[in-house]
Amino acid sequence: METTATHHADMHRDDDASKIGMWLFIFTEILLFGGLFIVYSVYRFRNPVAFHIAHQELSITMGLINTIILLISSATVAISISAIQKKDRKMSMMMLGMTLLFALIFLVNKYFEWGAKFEHGMYPGSDLMTMLSHGDMLFFSLYFFMTGLHAVHIIVGMVLLSVSLFKVRNGAIHSTRFVLLENSGLYWHLVDLIWIFLFPLFYLIH
């Protein structure tokens, strides 16, 4: 940064600045979830048995499928960025489209996962939830809260990727100007990263 800090002020465009900005924003996102991870650890430590039993209610298969989907989608968005750098607009658009498709599949999966619980009367504020033991209720509350907040981030990521796709299509993003796509990709990796922590915490740990 030191070396480039000298020639900038009169340019209106500064891709490095945009990227630094995105990285800083990602730090705040990590700390946003960080607060939830602390809450999760405290309550898991207090209610180990209840958390263990409650976690068996979740379908590892569903979680695993979603994990794989997100990992592949991170790869496709990365390919899309390389493609635009190599002036392969078609490939870039196709890969962005696939990323969006994977994101949609993730949400559909989530819908069925949550829907099954809702059908059993299991949702925040329901009568069933208030009848559960404290440990069980905390587990499911955290589950809905954290995966819900993550799903919101998926949707925000999809909006960013859609805007990028649109701009690749009309030529506003091209081989020498792709910082928006890159930043959307960074954000998408963050969404993926958070899921990588959520998956073991809720589905895997015994």
Residues engaged in binding another protein (CB under 8 A): 1-2, 4-10, 14, 16-18, 20-21, 24-25, 27-29, 31-36, 38-39, 42-43, 46-47, 124-125, 129-130, 133-135, 137-138, 141, 145, 149
Cα 186 → chain centroid: 11
**Alpha-carbon span 145 to 125, nearest angstrom:** 12
Pick the closer one to another protein by CB: 51 or 106.
Answer: 51
From the CB of 88, what's the least distance to another protein, in Å? Answer: 30
Q: Considering the complex, what minimum distance in angstroms separates the CB of residue 157 from another protein?
A: 18
Coil, helix or strand at residue 33: helix
Choice between 3 and 61, CB closer to another protein = 3
Is the CB of 51 or the CB of 178 nearer to another protein? Answer: 51
Tell the smallest beta-carbon distance from residue 125 to another protein (Å).
4
Nearest approach in angstroms of CB 132 to another protein is 9
Buried b (16+ CB within 10 A) or exposed e, 67-88: bebbeebbebbbbbbebbeeeb
CB 63 within 8 A of CB 203: yes
Nearer to another protein, 72 or 149 (CB): 149
Cα 115 from Cα 136, distance rounded (Å):
19
Is residue 164 within 8 Å of 39, Cβ to Cβ? no
